[in-house]
Amino acid sequence: MLASARGTLARALRRLAGADGLIALPTLAYLGLFLILPLAAILGLGATAGPYGRGELIATLLRPTVWGETLARTLAQATLSTALTLLIGLPAAYAFARYRFPLRRALRALASAPFVMPAVVVAAAFTALLGPRGALNAIAQAVTGRTDAPLQLLGTLPMILIAHAFYNVSVVIRVVGGFWSAIDPRLESAAATLGANRWRTLTAVTLPLALPAIGSAAALIFLFTFGSFGVVLLLGNPQWATLEVEIYRQTTWSLRLDVVAALAVIQMIVTALTGAVSARLSDRASAPLAMRPAEDIAVPPRGPAARALVALTVLVALGLCALPLAALAVSSLDLSAGLDPERVLRYYASLESNARLSAFFVPPITAIRRSLLVGAATAVLALAMGLPMAVVLARARGGARRGATLASMALEALLLLPLGASAVTLGLGYIIAFSRPPLDWIGSPLLIPLAHTLIALPFVTRALTPALRALDPKLREAARTLGASPARARLAIDLPLLAQPMLAALTFSFTTSLGEFGASLLIARPENPTLPLLIARALAQPGALNYGQAMAMSTLLMTITALSVFAIERWQPERQR
């Protein structure tokens, strides 16, 4: 057995050292320089900082009082967030997968938009809806005649859970709904002909078939909420601080690098375990189960139960997803003096004025321009780094040898590491690793898109790898028999088939960069903030004008990201929905 394991490892290493290794070499070098090196820098410094000197990291890890309460709180919050998201998302996923109804595509895009919304926009949206000066409190005050806010949700656990469900319900709709939309409904019909009622069919056929997909979606949601930063920082309070928030506080308030390093190690361990579960469940969900095209499966809702499910889905899409965004847009307007256009749009008009004569004032249009440039650079870099890695992963998983599978698993684990590494820890690692020669890059404008590319890279490879595996080599062989060179065959056959997945990967990378908050918070200079940082700065300052300006900037950023999601939905063929 030991000899077999050694042989498998040797084959994996030979595969990575061969042609596939050459293809992946630029991406591996990028990950080594901009992921491994900063993490090693912060972990190395954390291992020697603090009162214990050398070995401080191990000493801190052995003191549960440092991390035990925070870890338990983070695990509890992530578990509750995952359960609430599944409770809301599963009925909606089934309705979108199995029924055709008016505005179905638009509502599905609306439900998917929050996933790429910046954390500061989500925080602003829920503050505008449920905050002390929010829309629901204003309605409650008008109805009850009270002068105080009847709904005191800001800073509470329910507010965090609702915001996380808003953020991640699209994961359930896409992962589980995509699985349900391709399973042949005749399996359910066969159960019905054998005497099973609707509930029995649901529990004995529909849900068991989708369990791998449900588990994969749950693992991803747990992963995202476990590492939540912006939502918890802006909507919660110290009582509900997650590991990520605690890392930020220990970095900026106490400079306890030993605690930061210990928390980062714990976070990566939990994330690696969750990522392994997600990958395993994703593989099981990809097993063939009599799949059919999605357009052949969706039917108009018939019967009271189906109509009620569709109505519930519409309410979820409008209530959970549209209502906070609508409240955000309304709060960016000043309606206190009627409908005078100059008064209504005064928050937008004031964005270019420095009323407080702040030395760090940056016009929002400048921050928007910078965010767009950073987003475009991130999209190009993520595609350039992700496409070669996706090619390697597609070849490795497509091979029958165990060495190929082991190489694929190792590369996938490496690509998941940016999701497990704290963005705040990475930002601090950049400050340490790139602040001295020969890597004195901390003031470079390229450092922010390079950091954003790390976050977008795992999603780019996951978007492109299945498309590459699905390419039929017979089409390329047919082009070769007609006289096309290998390069010509790939340009004429593969590239058009990959155009839409590549476009989706570019758009997702762009919107992810627009909303990135954690790493930018540490490495962006005060005079060169991105738009999310400018929004967070305005939210942290008192006064109605600052609040209105934050809402106005959040509405602009929300519009850009929402248009990107609707573009993906519009360009994606019906067969892939």
276: its two tokens: 């392994």
30 pLDDT more than 80: yes
Could you tell me if 371 and 512 are in contact, meaning their C-beta atoms sit under 8 angstroms apart? no
SS (H, E, C) 110-129: HHHHHHHCCHHHHHHHHHHH
Are residues 123 and 37 part of one domain?
no
> Mean of the pLDDT values across residues 248-255?
76
CA atoms within 13 A of residue 108's CA, in its CB half-sphere:
27
Are residues 401 and 302 part of one domain?
no
Q: Verify cis geometry, omega within 30 degrees of 0, for the bond prior to 293.
A: no
- Residue at a domain's end among 509, 528, 547: 528
Report yes or no on 570 lying in a domain.
no
Are residues 413 and 265 part of one domain?
no
CB atoms within 10 A of CB 148: 10
163 pLDDT more than 70: yes
Query: CA-CA distance, 325 to 154, in Å (whole number)?
Result: 17
Q: 320: pLDDT confidence band, cut at 50, 70 and 90?
A: confident
CA angle (367 as vertex; 422, 439 as ends), nearest 5: 50
CB atoms within 10 A of CB 486: 10
9 pLDDT more than 50: no
Are residues 71 and 12 part of one domain?
no
Are residues 166 and 80 part of one domain?
yes
Percent with pLDDT over 70 in the chain: 70
Report yes or no on 222 lying in a domain.
yes
Q: 86: pLDDT confidence band, cut at 50, 70 and 90?
A: very high
Are residues 233 and 100 part of one domain?
yes
Report yes or no on 352 lying in a domain.
no
20 pLDDT more than 60: no
Are residues 304 and 182 part of one domain?
yes
The pLDDT tens digits of the residues spanning 134-158 come to: 778 888 888 887 777 777 788 888 8
The more confidently predicted of residues 504 and 250 is 250
Distances (CA, A) of 96 to 83, 91, 317: 20, 9, 11
The pLDDT tens digits of the residues spanning 233-246 come to: 888 877 788 888 88
pLDDT score for 300: 77
Closest CA to 249 of 40, 475, 462, 422: 422
Q: 489: pLDDT confidence band, cut at 50, 70 and 90?
A: low
Q: 259: pLDDT confidence band, cut at 50, 70 and 90?
A: confident
> Mean of the pLDDT values across residues 554-567?
78
pLDDT score for 576: 46
96 pLDDT more than 70: yes
Q: 170: pLDDT confidence band, cut at 50, 70 and 90?
A: confident
Distances (CA, A) of 204 to 49, 187, 304, 488: 56, 11, 22, 50
Report yes or no on 344 lying in a domain.
no
10 pLDDT more than 60: no
Q: What backbone phi and psi angles, to 5 degrees, belong to 291?
A: -75, 150
Could you tell me if 140 and 146 are in contact, meaning their C-beta atoms sit under 8 angstroms apart? yes
56: its two tokens: 């401080």
Query: CA-CA distance, 433 to 3, in Å (whole number)?
Result: 40
Predicted TM-score (pTM) above 0.75: no
Torsion of CA 168, 170, 176, 181, to 10 degrees: 180
The pLDDT tens digits of the residues spanning 351-394 come to: 777 666 566 677 777 888 888 888 889 989 999 998 888 888 77
Are residues 106 and 46 part of one domain?
no
> Mean of the pLDDT values across residues 276-282?
65
CATH for 71: 1.10.3720.10
Closest CA to 248 of 525, 517, 538: 517
Contacts of 210 (CB under 8 A, 6+ apart): 176, 179, 180, 183
Domain range spanning residue 433? 7-51+363-528
> Mean of the pLDDT values across residues 537-563?
80
Query: CA-CA distance, 310 to 101, in Å (whole number)?
Result: 8
Report yes or no on 233 lying in a domain.
yes
Report yes or no on 106 lying in a domain.
yes
85 pLDDT more than 90: yes
- Residue at a domain's end among 325, 344, 371: 325
Report yes or no on 141 lying in a domain.
yes
- Count of structural domains, the chain: 2
Report yes or no on 547 lying in a domain.
no
Percent with pLDDT over 90 in the chain: 3
pLDDT score for 195: 65
CA atoms within 13 A of residue 556's CA, in its CB half-sphere:
20
Are residues 152 and 261 part of one domain?
yes
Torsion of CA 39, 40, 45, 48, to 10 degrees: 130
Are residues 47 and 65 part of one domain?
no
Are residues 109 and 172 part of one domain?
yes
Q: 59: pLDDT confidence band, cut at 50, 70 and 90?
A: low
The more confidently predicted of residues 559 and 411 is 559
Are residues 84 and 185 part of one domain?
yes
523: its two tokens: 């490495």
561 pLDDT more than 60: yes
Q: What is the mean pLDDT of the chain?
A: 75
pLDDT score for 80: 94
pLDDT score for 81: 93
Q: 290: pLDDT confidence band, cut at 50, 70 and 90?
A: very low
Q: 79: pLDDT confidence band, cut at 50, 70 and 90?
A: very high
Rg (CA), the chain: 25
- Residue at a domain's end among 297, 325, 353: 325
Among the residue ranges 10-24, 365-379, 504-518, the one predicted with the least confidence is: 10-24
Query: CA-CA distance, 156 to 158, in Å (whole number)?
Result: 6
